[in-house]
Structure 1
Amino acid sequence: MIAVKMNPARRCTALLNQLCVSPRAGPTNGRAFSPGPRLGPGVGGKGTGTQPKKKSGISTTGATPVCPMGASSSRLFGTLAQTLNSAPLAQQDLYPEETQDQDLDMPMLDPDQLLRECEEALCRRPARPRRELVYPSGTVPCHHKPNSSIRIMQWNILAQALGEGKDGFIRCPLDALNWQERKYLILEEILTYHPDIICLQEVDHYYDTFHPIMASLGYHGSFLAKPWSPCLDVEQNNGPDGCAMFFRRSRFSLHGLAHLRLSAMMLPTNQVAIVQTLKCRVTGRQLCVAVTHLKARSGWERLRSAQGADLLQSLRNITSLGGSRSNAASATVPLVVCGDFNAEPSEDVYRRFSSSALGLSSAYKLLSSDGQTEPAYTTWKIRPSGESCSTLDYIWYSHDALSVDSLLDIPTEDQIGPDRLPSYHYPSDHLSLLCDISFREEPHRLM
């Protein structure tokens, strides 16, 4: 496993000594979703450890009380739940106003202690696939500029309501999908690689789980729900799913934020994007980062292409000096675009991004020997309609202004296993992508 960057413990010991006091937890009942203060669903259960063990399930039915954010043995999550119970969460708004100050009131947690708690809770699950950081062909590790690389994670984490209620993963055991177990695996994945910027899709537990936890770990978060989320069609849903972005406050300051509802042929669609302009505290340079999730399913290729064109135009305006629509050469802010595009490299939306005047390249092509070929898959699932193995997820970057220092490799077929994704050892039907990027010494203006 890749070594985790260590942060000094701050207030974790005191937090761990507190006990969870709330008697129950669970997702919002029914189809209707009412935003506002609420307690978080449970976290407890089994999980990934270092030693593979026999698969065994824990029933989520029964009368044993659980903490709002975990089983009664999960002290750290219980503490967070107690904090949430006394401090109302942000209201869910499609286009909220955000400030970095709203994250500063959360109690600070030690990420190493939290990671150890996750590993302990997951010790009865099979080990996660071992993944290594790989240096692109022709590059060498950069040691002369310590702390200059920026680590970015892209991940469709699988909306809980969809995983349990709509997606129909016929080879994935039901108890491997319940939130009480899955959220430990998701958090462990994030804590293991300690990214500076995290871009997520299909997030339907932002306010009760991800925002409080990530804020307590030193991240600033932003969330944008789909206008008509399919999660709301599922009984016992936890609200709409959407995109989320987090950045480490110690590394960046927020200089600009845009919440976009993507359009196609001048008509609004159900897909959204978050765009943030950040200033790096190490280099003093600005970086624009976007996260999106385009329309799914075969037959919607033209809509995805139109959504991509709309997003590219918005990014061109945001990153261009003076916001000029027509002068692509004025783009001066380096750009990273993360997302589940629901599109193979053969689709038109992929060609739009790879040929854009913004000068974007796909980072994961650098894993190939020729530097021109995407991975064979970023998602692999088995549904009633059959087995699907596809490349749908991407990290795009401004190749003139940024360089890719390393990438997290893709698990092999044997590592993923015959039942594919999700599974006991991997919480989503999509693989997380991760790369280290750095600013070039003399970035060229896009021509």
Structure 2
Amino acid sequence: MFNQNDRTFGGGQGHHRYGMQHTHLQNLGGVHQHQNFPHGSHARGQNSAHRYTSSGTPLSLAHQYDRHAHEEPSGSHIEELDESGNEQWKEHIKAYREYMQSGTPHYHAKTFARRPPPDIVKVNAADEDNEDPDDRSRAAIAKPKERSAWAGLDLSGQGLRLLSSALFRFEFLEELHLDHNKLVRIPPEIGRLKNLIHLDISNNLLVELPGEIGLLSNLQELLLFDNSLEHLPVEIGYLFRLRILGIRGNPIDHDVGPEIKEAGTENLIKYYRNRITPPPHPDRDWIGFFETSDQSQETFTALSYNILCQRAGTSAHHGCVPDKALSWDYRRDLILRELENFESDFICLQEFDAITHEDFRQRLRELGYASYYSQRTRSRYLNGEQARLVDGCGTFWKTDKYISLASETLRFGELGLNDQSVKKSADYINRVWQKDHIALVNLLENRVTGTRLILVNAYIFWNPKFKDVKLIQVAVLLREITQLAEQWADLPPVRDKRSRPSDVPDAPDAPDQEFAPSSKYTNSTDIPLVICGDFNSEPTSAVYDLVARGSLPAHHDDLDGRDYGPFSTAGMSHPLTLKSAYGAVGELPFTNYTPDYQGVLDYIWYSSNTVRVKGLLGEVDREYLRKVPGFPDWNFPSDHLPLVAEFAVTPRRKGAGKM
């Protein structure tokens, strides 16, 4: 139940400490936040309901206290327990036996302190760099948890009737013991304790649980013995990691107990999960920055969306999602409806496999879009269905407004080898070359105004242990965009804008209308540039700094001392004046939302010298997020959010002419 390798459980003699960073599972008796219990001391009496900050100020965690409140469990006797059944049922019985032996105040803290330390198994550090190329469990290691001086809290046997909201500020808690009290309700704020692994609220006066219990997606043990629960909330189905559900001694035991014994906890949780119905979903607000009455003002919208490809959208990766909401047929239809409703001029999709592209291309063609698509490099080495399931990037544009003049697929691993000094780098061969991530680059021209625009759709490697790989991939991306812009600045004008794009033979015909001459660009940086994509890097990363600031010094820390030729020795830089569109609002709270990770990984970058942000699709309703532990779900078909930005083209200076 308690991992003594990782933490100590304060409050008794025999208190063990080990040669690594510890956290402390403490009772609340007169201790300071970052101090250990004195050996042999146990806080008792009314002070047990208080915890002191480092300044000595008491923080009340229980409004009422009754030192004589403890009663013996009302459940069945130990000798009556039937231990036949599956392994999860046996764990349930074992947990109940342990519960029957508890009851004294702070029993769990005292018991833990007397346990001998377990054997410590050393993990081979070499294994840390092994990674499955299709593994999407980025959340598990993307954002290391800040460890507190203690990880658990024992408030058992204190006669508590109410819980203060102050308790739920301890979001680092991994274990919480509230058993053998007189609680009549658990506040919905319990959903804030998302790091909980073990929660014991046995032997209270509970008749129901809040639906927010389903937000505790790390929970493995939920003990509810000897309460008055007649039903469980369907949201308990979100607890996909739950192994032990202790319900003995409740009215619901007659229905649920046999199910656990027969089918196991996992199947019971799955049953509840598939009964979850779609919650009401407010639309995301549109954030407008300025309006203009100038009808000649040229504007366009761009959408970036990692759609969670078919192969990655499985219960193994997204265990909290109801089966129907996770099914590709359901998600596909919802994604297509989103794309249709947004009506963006440009659509940039990542994690987009070949089968899905064939499907979406036909549907979006009916809506007036043409497309350019490439798979990741590994598809070259596979056959048949396996090759078609390899994901890539797909870019779509409205053909009544834009014509495609040129397109390129950038394969980061291969492009770096064009530089002889990089080609000699063993680090590049062993780390970057093996990753097959890509970007698409399109040069498009507005049929009516003649304005040209470079549109980029990028997908960067995900694993946070490979910060150097991400940084090199983005450095290569920016270098290649710069070189392509220089080449494309000299392209001749388009003479017949009514013709179909040569690289998209199935594009619909353009309507008859007046077309302006093609714009002429003396400097490559004068061509408007928009870069969409999943960069798998947070706003505090070196990747973000490189894109936004334009340079990074030589031997940057994220390269970890590795040799990447001039990228290491001379630093990295680019001449593009790029800003994040969502930087106008300080970035969204998240673009990737799962039970284990919430953070910003996706961006729409733009050249600030050529276009301005006119509007953005805003964040998800925060009340909605208090009801769901992660995406995808019934209303959000991917674990990433679609980003949508509207831009206004900056009028060109006098003297900038047409071809």
For the aligned pair, the TM-score class normalised by the smaller chain equals 0.5 to 0.7
Aligned counterparts, 1:291-440, within 5 A:
291-320=457-486, 330-356=524-550, 357-367=575-585, 373-382=586-595, 387-416=596-625, 417-440=627-650
- SS of the residue corresponding to residue 299 of structure 1 reads helix
Residues 357, 394 of structure 2: 8 Å contact kept: no
Residues 221, 245 of structure 1: 8 Å contact kept: yes
Residue deviations 1:377-428, cap 9 Å, x none? 111102xxxx101100000000010011110101133224422211011100
Residues 593, 640 of structure 2: 8 Å contact kept: yes
Structure 1 match to 2:454: 288
Change (3 A) 1:215 1:158: same
- SS of the residue corresponding to residue 300 of structure 1 reads helix
Counterpart selection for 2:347 from 198, 219, 238: 198
Matched, 1:275 2:433: no
Counterpart selection for 1:164 from 303, 314, 317: 314
Structure 2 match to 1:239: 389
Change (3 A) 1:400 1:443: farther
Superposition deviation, residue 129 in structure 1: 3.9
For residues 279 and 238 of structure 1, the distance between their equivalents in structure 2, rounded to whole angstroms, comes to 31
For residues 434 and 146 of structure 1, the distance between their equivalents in structure 2, rounded to whole angstroms, comes to 22
Residues 153, 433 of structure 1: 8 Å contact kept: yes
Residue deviations 1:74-113, cap 9 Å, x none? xxxxxxxxxxxxxxxxxxxxxxxxxxxxxxxxxxxxxxxx
Structure 1 match to 2:285: 132
Residues 354, 360 of structure 1: 8 Å contact kept: yes
Consecutive unaligned residues of structure 1, counting only runs of 5 or more, are 1-53, 56-123, 368-372
For residues 285 and 329 of structure 1, the distance between their equivalents in structure 2, rounded to whole angstroms, comes to 14
Superposition deviation, residue 142 in structure 1: 1.9
Instruction: Tell me: higher relative CO, structure 1 or 2? Use CA pairs within 8 A at least 6 residues apart.
Output: 1
Aligned counterparts, 1:255-270, within 5 A:
255-263=405-413, 265-266=422-423, 267=429, 268=433, 269-270=435-436
Superposition deviation, residue 336 in structure 1: 0.3
Residues 315, 321 of structure 2: 8 Å contact kept: no
Superposition deviation, residue 125 in structure 1: 4.8
Structure 1 match to 2:562: none
Superposition deviation, residue 300 in structure 1: 1.2
Change (3 A) 1:411 1:322: closer
For residues 326 and 366 of structure 2, the distance between their equivalents in structure 1, rounded to whole angstroms, comes to 26
Counterpart selection for 1:153 from 292, 299, 303: 303
Structure ID, larger Rg: 2
For residues 181 and 406 of structure 1, the distance between their equivalents in structure 2, rounded to whole angstroms, comes to 30
Structure 1 match to 2:326: 177
Superposition deviation, residue 333 in structure 1: 1.3
For residues 153 and 422 of structure 1, the distance between their equivalents in structure 2, rounded to whole angstroms, comes to 19
Superposition deviation, residue 321 in structure 1: 5.6
Structure 2 match to 1:38: none
Superposition deviation, residue 220 in structure 1: 0.6
For residues 314 and 443 of structure 1, the distance between their equivalents in structure 2, rounded to whole angstroms, comes to 27
- SS of the residue corresponding to residue 161 of structure 1 reads coil
- Count the aligned residue pairs: 308
Residue deviations 1:122-174, cap 9 Å, x none? xx9555441121123xxx212322673101101001001111265x1122112
Residues 297, 648 of structure 2: 8 Å contact kept: no
For residues 127 and 261 of structure 1, the distance between their equivalents in structure 2, rounded to whole angstroms, comes to 42
Structure 2 match to 1:188: 337
Q: 1:189 is matched by which residue type in structure 2?
A: E
- SS of the residue corresponding to residue 331 of structure 1 reads helix
Q: 1:281 is matched by which residue type in structure 2?
A: R
Change (3 A) 1:322 1:277: closer
Residues 577, 609 of structure 2: 8 Å contact kept: yes
For residues 447 and 279 of structure 2, the distance between their equivalents in structure 1, rounded to whole angstroms, comes to 39
Residues 588, 618 of structure 2: 8 Å contact kept: no
Residues 393, 458 of structure 2: 8 Å contact kept: yes
For residues 441 and 387 of structure 2, the distance between their equivalents in structure 1, rounded to whole angstroms, comes to 27
For residues 524 and 536 of structure 2, the distance between their equivalents in structure 1, rounded to whole angstroms, comes to 30
For residues 144 and 155 of structure 1, the distance between their equivalents in structure 2, rounded to whole angstroms, comes to 31
Superposition deviation, residue 443 in structure 1: 5.9
Residues 133, 406 of structure 1: 8 Å contact kept: yes
- SS of the residue corresponding to residue 603 of structure 2 reads strand
Superposition deviation, residue 331 in structure 1: 2.4
Residue deviations 1:36-79, cap 9 Å, x none? xxxxxxxxxxxxxxxxxx99xxxxxxxxxxxxxxxxxxxxxxxx
Superposition deviation, residue 376 in structure 1: 2.0
For residues 362 and 282 of structure 1, the distance between their equivalents in structure 2, rounded to whole angstroms, comes to 27
For residues 291 and 398 of structure 2, the distance between their equivalents in structure 1, rounded to whole angstroms, comes to 23
For residues 280 and 237 of structure 1, the distance between their equivalents in structure 2, rounded to whole angstroms, comes to 35
Residues 408, 433 of structure 1: 8 Å contact kept: yes
Consecutive unaligned residues of structure 2, counting only runs of 5 or more, are 1-233, 236-276, 417-421, 424-428, 491-521, 551-574
Structure 2 match to 1:71: none
Length-normalised TM-score, structure 2 = 0.44
Superposition deviation, residue 238 in structure 1: 5.3
Structure 1 match to 2:6: none
- SS of the residue corresponding to residue 270 of structure 1 reads coil
Q: Once superposed, what is the RMSD of the aligned Cα atoms?
A: 3.0
Residues 611, 647 of structure 2: 8 Å contact kept: yes
Q: 1:419 is matched by which residue type in structure 2?
A: P
For residues 375 and 395 of structure 1, the distance between their equivalents in structure 2, rounded to whole angstroms, comes to 12
Change (3 A) 1:208 1:321: closer
Counterpart selection for 1:442 from 635, 638, 652: 652
Residues 403, 447 of structure 2: 8 Å contact kept: yes
- SS of the residue corresponding to residue 338 of structure 1 reads strand
Q: 2:643 is matched by which residue type in structure 1?
A: L
